[in-house]
Amino acid sequence: MSGQPDEPVPKSKKHRKDKPWDTDDIDHSSSADKMYVQWKIESFTPSDNAGGVFTEESSFATLFPKYREKYLREVWSAVTRALDAHGIACTLDLIHGSMSARTTRKTFDPYILIKARDMLKLLARGVAVTQAVKILQDDMACDIIKIGNMVRNKERFVKRRQRIIGPDGSTLKAIELLTNCYVLVQGSTVSVMGPHKSLKEVRRIVLDCMRNIHPIYRIKELMIKRELAKDPKLANESWDRFLPKFRKRHLKTSEKTARKNEKVAAQTEARKAAGLEPEQPKKEKPTKKVYTPFPPPQQPRKVDLQLESGEYFLKRHEKQAKELQERKQKQAETTAKRQAERAEAFVAPTERAEPSVEEKRKKRKRAEADDTNRKDKPRKKKAVRFNLEDS
Please say if the pLDDT value at position 301 is more than 60: yes
pLDDT at 36: 44
* pLDDT, mean of residues 150-179: 93
Please say if the pLDDT value at position 386 is more than 80: no
Ordered DSSP codes for 292-329: -SSPPPPPPPHHHHHHHHTGGGS-HHHHHHHHHHHHHH
DSSP SS3 for 28: strand
Among residues 133, 140, 103, 138, which one has the least CA distance to residue 119?
133
pLDDT tier at 388 (50, 70, 90 boundaries)?
Answer: very low
Backbone angles phi, psi at 4, to 5 degrees: -80, 135
Share of the chain above pLDDT 90, in %: 43
Say how far residue 320 (Cα) sits from the centre of its chain. 46
Identity of residue 50:
A
Better-scored residue on pLDDT, 101 or 390: 101
Please say if the pLDDT value at position 390 is more than 50: no
The rounded distance, in Å, linking the Cα atoms of 132 and 146 is: 18
Please say if the pLDDT value at position 253 is more than 50: yes
The CATH number of domain 139-248, selected from 3.30.420.480, 3.30.1370.10, 3.30.930.10, 3.40.50.620: 3.30.1370.10
The rounded distance, in Å, linking the Cα atoms of 331 and 68 is: 47
pLDDT tier at 34 (50, 70, 90 boundaries)?
Answer: very low
Please say if the pLDDT value at position 367 is more than 50: yes
* pLDDT, mean of residues 65-94: 93
Q: Is the dihedral of CA 45, 47, 48, 54 positive or negative?
A: positive
The rounded distance, in Å, linking the Cα atoms of 377 and 371 is: 10
DSSP SS3 for 47: helix
In the sheet with 182-186, reading across from the earlier edge strand, the strands are: 141-146, 189-194, 182-186
Which is the CATH superfamily of the domain at 42-138? K Homology domain, type 1 (3.30.1370.10)
Please say if the pLDDT value at position 3 is more than 60: no
Whether the CB-CB separation of 222 and 178 falls below 8 Å is answered with: yes
Q: Which residues contact 194 (CB under 8 A, 6 or more apart)?
A: 140, 141, 179, 180, 181, 182, 202
Please say if the pLDDT value at position 255 is more than 70: yes
Identify the weakest region by mean pLDDT among 108-112, 196-200, 278-282, 386-390.
386-390
Q: Which residues contact 35 (CB under 8 A, 6 or more apart)?
A: 197, 225, 226, 229
Strands 38-39 and 88-93: unpaired
In the sheet with 88-93, reading across from the earlier edge strand, the strands are: 59-63, 98-103, 88-93
The rounded distance, in Å, linking the Cα atoms of 10 and 264 is: 41
Task: Find the angle CA(335)-CA(338)-CA(341) to the nearest 5 degrees.
Answer: 150
Q: What is the pLDDT of residues 106-136, one digit of tens each?
A: 998 889 999 999 999 999 999 999 999 999 9
Q: Which helix (H) or strand (E) holds 184?
A: strand 182-186
* pLDDT, mean of residues 220-241: 87
Q: Which range is most confident: 39-48, 244-253, 366-375?
A: 366-375
Q: What pTM did the predictor assign?
A: 0.57
Question: What's the distance, Cα to Cα, between the start and end of the chain in Å?
Answer: 120
Range(s) for CATH 3.30.1370.10 in the chain? 42-138, 139-248
Say how far residue 175 (Cα) sits from the centre of its chain. 16
pLDDT tier at 54 (50, 70, 90 boundaries)?
Answer: confident
Identify the weakest region by mean pLDDT among 86-95, 235-244, 322-331.
235-244
